[in-house]
Structure 1
Amino acid sequence: MKHLVNVVVLGMSLFAFGQQKQGNDSLTNPLIPVEKQNLLPDLDLVFFMRYALDSDIGESKFTSSRFNGNELRLDLSAKVHDRVGVRFRHRFTAPPSTGTLDHVNSTVDIAFVDVKATEKLNVTLGKLSADWGGYEYDLNPIEVLAYNDILSHSENYMVGFGMGYQINEKHRVTGQVLNASTSKLKDISTMTIPDRLEETKVPLAFVGNWRGSFWHNQFQTSYSYSYFSQAKNKGMYYIALGNKLQRTNWIWMYDFQYSHDALDTRGIMSAMFPEEHPIMAEQVSYIDHWTRVDYSFFSKLTLSLTLMTSGAYVKNTAVESKGNKHVRTTYGVIPTVQYCPFKKLDLRFYAAYVGRWSKNSSYAKEEFSQVNDNTGRISIGFITPLHVL
């Protein structure tokens, strides 16, 4: 594709150059200046897409079917200097809103400048993807039909800066300093903030990540630790431990994630409160387990199985209590079959079932009138990272 674009642009330029002798009209100048055309090989334009016919099931009963544009993201990256690159990714399948803290539209996933300071050290500045760690998060969003509880209720893209250092060919460490959120605490959700809380004057997040490779790259790790300042003297601690084992025709991934939130900004626990505008819960913990196996038959057929579970615990709620309380456990299963008919194009047709179940503790049933439930979705469609340039 890049060669075709170069040929077309060169042809346009030669045509315009020949026409310049006949007049001085600016329309006779090449659309892309000749001196800039050598930048095209350093430009990448990708459409990340997932479309499907989704059929929803609630409480074991069919509810609806419709065609769904699940994922559509435009990803543009370019090298503008020997040591400087830029990247921009926009999501078209999410409602737009402007962050009251960073003033960036929420549909912008990432928009940053990447500077190669040395052969081993690089610096990124702008709106970044938080380097959480774990392989559920590292997967391209078009590959994930449903996230586990922690990631599905997280803000994953924030403004700040990061540094990455390549220790050697097998180990890399990164560190980031980001805004703790895209918006101020009072604007994060419809929940009521406890009266005694004060907005922190430094709403920042600190993220550290280590990626390792062992046994000739067959076993890889992505471990991270993060601290997010939520309010004055209130913060969130988050640990993600990702492990991946890769062989010739199969890949196994397992993530452990633990989040202890002084304030329930995720809203998972607080949403259980019966009030229309519930008071945000405090001292909430979430523990997630996620695993996925991909097995390839021949070169065109891939079977995948994703299993996940999440536990929610709370210490302080609107109901007076002492000690930690186990509130809810959720489960998920996603069997998927993918078929790729083309050798040189990553366009996959897939069929999958997304099943989710929640089991509430007796404490949740008695205090918050919660009931167990289950949902399902049958999805038939296609997935592609379509490289245009």
Structure 2
Amino acid sequence: MNQQPQMTAQDQRAARAMRQSKIMSIIAAGALALVFVVAMAMWVYLRTIDRNATITERDQVSTDGNLAPTADESAVANVADKASKSVVSIITNIEESSSLRTTTRQSAAAGTGIIVSKDGYIVTNKHVVSKASSIRVIASDGTRYDDVRVVGEDPLNDIAYLKLEVGNTVLTPLSLGDSATVRVGQSVVAIGNALGRYQNTVTSGIISGKGRPVTASTSGNSTQRTESLTDLIQTDAAVNSGNSGGPLLNRSGQVIGINVAVATNAQGISFAIPVNAMKGTLKSVLAGKGVRRAYLGARYVMLTPDIAKQVGTSAKEGAYVMTSGDKSAIVAGSPADKAGLREKDVITKINSLVVGKQGDVSSLIGEYQPGDVVALTILRDGKERVMRVTLSEYQGGESGE
């Protein structure tokens, strides 16, 4: 019988180490096989998801660039593109002196103008060019015009007309809208030479009021002039010094007002002369007749509920014909006098336009020319009647409208 050799302690430790090594190899091989099986299962699962899934595309919206403009933004931009080439900057030099000086002093001022004809007629505010010793006009493309003439000023409104010598150049005039149809809340755009430095600045806002009376002042280095203006359009579009004479436009790019004044003690309040008030004088200027202002010859106050109650009329709106201080209600020999208009009459319409709602008498008459015949609808002793009036030409020094 064969006998197994006796193992030493060292041999026994070596044998145990070999057995443990084999066990670890088996475990490692098993783990590797398990990983392989799991990986294969995930691959099959993911391929199944890939075949059945619906891909959702990301929104094509950039967060780090310009978004598409809104309809409101596009409307303002379109007006600016259309109108800017018809808006000019006006630079004036004024010679001023005082009783304390034996020499004159020159100062510069700035404003804005509107091209109203292809051959170089410009409308602006009277206060922009009043007392100017020289006038320069700068077009939107940088063209400078130094040969500029004042061809006329409206005696009853802050409006003046200039003429440029443009040679064979054909300018682009702005289209005139209808200020009688504007509404409070309507969107508007203003363009002008803001602060006399920022040519063709574009701002936007709304019409925030109508029929506003304003006493405007214009200061020079040695003089200050004030002027009472009525029936103005109020807007919250930003208007600054230098914008005077520039256009207030509707969303169609039509002029509905001429910017004229800013409220200095409030933010977001500025005023424009309704464009209809200058249409009559513009026609006479373009016809080469100078400024000819239509004239009615009546003194009046615009009715409010309080005034209507005070004067005892049943009319809700209109122009109440009345005396002013020591001046009679009707100017003797005037068109109003010849037509038979009387004190205490209420003028409710001029042609089809409602006095009060669509403008005061001055603005509505300003749309016509001397010699035009208009129909006045009046309320007298509670009864409505219509009279025809042939307008005359305003002569300096006359009062009343």
TM-score by length of 1: 0.21
Asked which structure has the greater CA Rg, the reply is: 2
Return the structure number with greater relative CO, CA threshold 8 A, min gap 6: 1
TM-score by length of 2: 0.21
Higher helix share: 2
Higher strand share: 1
